Amino acid sequence: MMKPLPLSRAFTLLEPGPVVLVTTRSATGINVMTISWTMVMDFTPRFALTTGPWNHSYAALKQSKECVIAIPAADQIDLVVGVGTCSGTETDKFAHFGLTPLDGQFVKAPLIKECQANIECKVVDIVSKHNIVVLEGLAAYVDARRPDKRTLHAVGDGTFIVDGERLNRKRMMRSKIPPGV
Amino acid sequence: MMKPLPLSRAFTLLEPGPVVLVTTRSATGINVMTISWTMVMDFTPRFALTTGPWNHSYAALKQSKECVIAIPAADQIDLVVGVGTCSGTETDKFAHFGLTPLDGQFVKAPLIKECQANIECKVVDIVSKHNIVVLEGLAAYVDARRPDKRTLHAVGDGTFIVDGERLNRKRMMRSKIPPGV
């Protein structure tokens, strides 16, 4: 079940660089894309992603100025690859991949029930020259009961790195950790 | 030893979202910063990173329009945290952390000998409104003899995720893998 995550912690979902699913809603319905080209820009939180007119979701992002970033886990690799290798122009991806759309609080784009975390976002700017979409996170949710929480990191050659061990340097990093994290 | 990596594969060094070291050279010497806010923008390769005037390296990036992105490994976590928690304004970080600067071919910013990979980059644009620096990769190198090749993914709360197992979906991803990868 999706439970709220303090917005001050939402950037920690994207900072490690996982491959994510991005959902949109347009006049033609809901859609989802796989994307690896994302970046944290601020703790507020603010994110960037690179996409453009070649991508079916781009028109919906531009029109609706909203999306949801959903974080899949390692056991969802075939979902990630499947969503990333077909187009919303010919496939109803939510139906095809058995995804359950959930209503958010702030945006019309759906959360994905099967993902371990979701972030509702509004588009605050599009830097067309570079195909960069700048997003602000409005609300974040995590499903703490999901057993596999390891995320996937796309390499770009058809392989994916799964999260391994976690190292703790909280004491050394104290001066750099923002409040509320 | 640093050996050339085909430039067509250089984006695969950053696509998984590792924490990186970015070196610069200015009138006051060489410097290095730890940065986690990066994004691949194109296979050519093109990268974005978010930084700004609050960062000592920003002036050097802006002036020299050059940098090197170096990829540290898991066994260098204390280097990554150390470089990230002191400033080049008061510390000669190469000397302090025992880093060996190596000459690149295209830029005056140094490669880091102790890192497993380095990418020489030129600044092609700065989107000041969003503190985004757009980089183009000019040459890439890897040290294949380095024993630990696992990268680090900053979470932002003082912990770091180390690369775990690697999953292969090359067959399913075939249509999405660019030439030369």
The proportion of chain B whose per-residue pLDDT surpasses 90, expressed as a percent, equals 92
Q: What is the largest CA-CA distance in chain B?
A: 51
Contact B162 A164 (CB under 8 A): yes
Q: What is the largest CA-CA distance in chain A?
A: 51
Collapsed DSSP state (helix, strand, coil) of residue A156: coil
Residues of B in contact with A158 (CB under 8 A): 168-174, 176-177
Predicted confidence at residue B159, as pLDDT, reads 98
Collapsed DSSP state (helix, strand, coil) of residue A133: strand
d(CA A124, CA B181): 34
Residues of A in contact with B152 (CB under 8 A): 167
Tell me if A108 sits within 8 A of A25, measured CB to CB: yes
d(CA A97, CA A55): 19
Tens-place pLDDT, residues A28-39: 899 999 999 999
Tell me if B127 sits within 8 A of A132, measured CB to CB: yes
* Of A130, A137, A127, nearest in space to A62 by CA: A127
Distance from the A36 Cα atom to the nearest Cα atom in chain B, whole angstroms = 7
Predicted confidence at residue B89, as pLDDT, reads 87
The answer, as to whether pTM is greater than 0.95, is yes
d(CA A118, CA A111): 6
Predicted confidence at residue B90, as pLDDT, reads 86
DSSP of A78-117: HHHHHHHTS-TTT--HHHHTT--EE--SS-SSPEETTSSE
Strand boundaries in chain B, DSSP class E: 3-5, 20-26, 29-35, 38-42, 46-50, 66-71, 101-102, 111-112, 117-127, 132-142, 152-154, 159-168
> Once rounded to an integer, what is the mean pLDDT over residues A71-97?
95
Q: Which of B157, B162, B163, B175 to mutate to test the interface with A (most CBs of A within 10 A)?
A: B157
d(CA B121, CA B46): 9
Burial (CB count within 10 angstroms: exposed 0-12, middle 13-18, buried 19+), residue A115: buried
Tell me if B58 sits within 8 A of A151, measured CB to CB: no
> Once rounded to an integer, what is the mean pLDDT over residues A99-126?
98
B113: enclosing H helix or E strand: none
Q: Kindly report the average pLDDT of chain A as a whole number.
A: 96
Tokens of B81: 């945290």
Q: Which of B41, B127, B169, B176 to mutate to test the interface with A (most CBs of A within 10 A)?
A: B169
Neighbours of B85 (CB within 10 A): 14
Tens-place pLDDT, residues A115-165: 999 999 999 999 999 999 999 999 999 999 999 999 999 999 999 999 999
Nearest C-alpha in B relative to A127: B127
Q: Angle at Cα B156 formed by Cα A164 and Cα B36, nearest 5°?
A: 85
Predicted confidence at residue A1, as pLDDT, reads 84
Neighbours of B125 (CB within 10 A): 16
Predicted confidence at residue A31, as pLDDT, reads 96
Antiparallel, parallel or unpaired: β B132-142 and A101-102: unpaired
Predicted confidence at residue B1, as pLDDT, reads 84
Predicted confidence at residue A90, as pLDDT, reads 86
Of B38, B40, B134, the CB nearest to A130: B134
Band (A54; pLDDT cuts 50, 70, 90): confident
Tens-place pLDDT, residues B80-122: 999 999 988 888 999 999 999 999 999 999 999 999 999 999 9
DSSP-assigned letter for residue B75: G
Collapsed DSSP state (helix, strand, coil) of residue A7: helix
Band (A89; pLDDT cuts 50, 70, 90): confident
d(CA B54, CA B51): 8
Indicate if the pLDDT at residue A88 is higher than 90. Answer: no
